[in-house]
Chains A and B, each alone.
Chain A
Amino acid sequence: MIASDDNKKSCRPPEAEPTASGGSVPIWIFILTLVLLFFGAVYFDRHSGWFNKLVYTPFQSADELAIYQPKSGEAAMIAHGKAVYESVCGTCHGSDGLGKPDQVPPLAGSEWVSKDIPSLVRVPQLGLNGPIKVAGKDWNLAMAPMGAGLSDADLAGVLTYIRQSWGNRSSTVSTDDVKAARAAISGNAPSTEQLAKMTPMERGHALFQKYGCFQCHGQDGKGGVTNTNAKTAEQVPSLIYVADGYTKDELIAFVSRGERVIPRMNPNGPEPPHFMPKWGPIINTNELSDIADFLFSLKPKGSDVGF
């Protein structure tokens, strides 16, 4: 038996020692890994926490939690003002209040920010246009009345925030201060009752003034302020021909959306200082409709171009 077993074994080829061969990892594993890594990167970025343990671990104590709660009174007002500032003013004046060289004056260290409250309220309420000296430097630009649509409380918060940030040390501004300052400068602006009696076109004109469209587009939209290095012949465009180029819906959509990036005349030159603000959050739909009616009425008679 033993002999025959040996014989059988000898007939089979000798068993090979198992070895590792150069197999390839399926491609889908790579793809899956890439997708997961990409998702991970996006997730980390979205949540902005990276690997900081403070972000992911719960609070250590009630005291620590309390630090992060909104304070009442002044601190809450400043926190609210900061939020409004970031969404309305920060685009140009910057989160650091430094503005932009040659394009937007700074608020940090600006004597205008520290002025008496009625003077300060005028700037966001009415806009500002023309030569001005800020912190020892001359500027000649235009700002739309970005604050005209803000509530008294929102504007008070913003003004308090800028008066007490970036090294500025001035008094707080209360909601009543803003209310009083606004009442004093409303002057001959039409009242709500008067507005209600006007035709849409007249109301649109009043709103064109209220929101300071003229600061950049000129009185009655006849055109503009200089906009250095803007492709539109370095001007803020006039508005008298919008009736030719837009349907009412298109015009309202454009004004709501604004145009943050203005094409440059010289691509390597500076960013044009003026851009069309996003008015959607500031001017309501009925008002936009009235403004469109007013703008359509500006088209000069006899200016049809035959197509």
Chain B
Amino acid sequence: MIHWNKKILFVGLLALTITVRADDTLDAATQARINAFEKGPATIDVSKYPQGIQDNYAIFSQKCTQCHKLSRPINSDYALPDEWSRYVKRMMRKPGSGIDSSDGKKIYEFLTYDSSVRKKALLDDKLAKLTPEEKAADEAKIKEVHDKYDGK
């Protein structure tokens, strides 16, 4: 029983240490969200997407994995063009990101296109919650990307 006690004590302390460490970096809710995203699939089947979007997927896979797992954006709850535009720019503007504005645009176009197909339900749900002006603006941005790549 003594041995068990020590082991459990160890596990308990370990769990506490981890909790305390996590506090240092991000708030628990954000960290939990990121962990949940990262547990999901790490690739997307892009074989049915237009060639241009498939090319952009390659850039997305290469650039974004410099700093975090690809499963994080793939399974994230972002879907609106407005959200992707902001997050891609945020990452792109980090010193040393190695993402220039032309790569950034390709990554944004891939994520917007992919969200309009693979995350359609989530996207529609988010669009429905916007004001009519915001909704029209986001829909125009989605259409722009589809017009540029579809059928090519």
Interface set of A (CB-CB < 8 Å, partner B) = 33-34, 37-38, 40-42, 44-45, 223-224, 231-235, 237-238, 241, 244-247, 257, 259-261, 263, 265, 305-307
**B109 and A41: CB pair below 8 A?**
no
Complex CA distance for A237 and B94, rounded to whole angstroms: 7
Interfacial residues of chain B within 1-54, with CB under 8 A of chain A in the complex: 4-5, 8-9, 11-13, 15-16, 24-27
**A238 and B86: CB pair below 8 A?**
no
**B8 and A38: CB pair below 8 A?**
yes
Main secondary structure of the interface of B (DSSP, over half): helix
**A41 and B104: CB pair below 8 A?**
no
**B135 interface hit (Cβ, 8 Å):** no
Interfacial residues of chain B within 84-138, with CB under 8 A of chain A in the complex: 85-96, 101, 104-105, 108-109
A272 smallest CB distance to B (angstroms): 12
**B4 and A241: CB pair below 8 A?**
no
Interface set of B (CB-CB < 8 Å, partner A) = 4-5, 8-9, 11-13, 15-16, 24-27, 67, 85-96, 101, 104-105, 108-109
User: Given A232-B94, A307-B85, are A37 and B25 neighbors across the interface (CB < 8 Å)?
Assistant: no
Contacts of A223 in B (CB 8 A): 95
**B8 and A241: CB pair below 8 A?**
no
**A245 and B93: CB pair below 8 A?**
yes
Find the A residue at minimum CB distance from B16: A45
Contacts of B95 in A (CB 8 A): 223-224, 232-233, 235, 237-238
Known: A224-B95, A247-B86, A307-B85. 13 other contacts (CB 8 A): A37-B9, A41-B11, A42-B16, A45-B12, A232-B94, A241-B93, A244-B90, A245-B86, A265-B96, A305-B92, A305-B104, A307-B105, A307-B109
Find the A residue at minimum CB distance from B10: A41
**B67 and A41: CB pair below 8 A?**
no
**A45 and B13: CB pair below 8 A?**
yes
Q: State the 4 A-B residue pairs at the shortest beta-carbon distance, nearest first.
A: A233-B96, A245-B90, A41-B12, A305-B101
Partner of A41, one of B8, B27, B85, B86: B8
B82 smallest CB distance to A (angstroms): 9
B99 smallest CB distance to A (angstroms): 11
Contacts of B8 in A (CB 8 A): 34, 37-38, 40-41
Contacts of B12 in A (CB 8 A): 37-38, 41-42, 45
A169 smallest CB distance to B (angstroms): 34
Contacts of B105 in A (CB 8 A): 305-307
Find the B residue at minimum CB distance from A236: B95
Contacts of A241 in B (CB 8 A): 89, 93
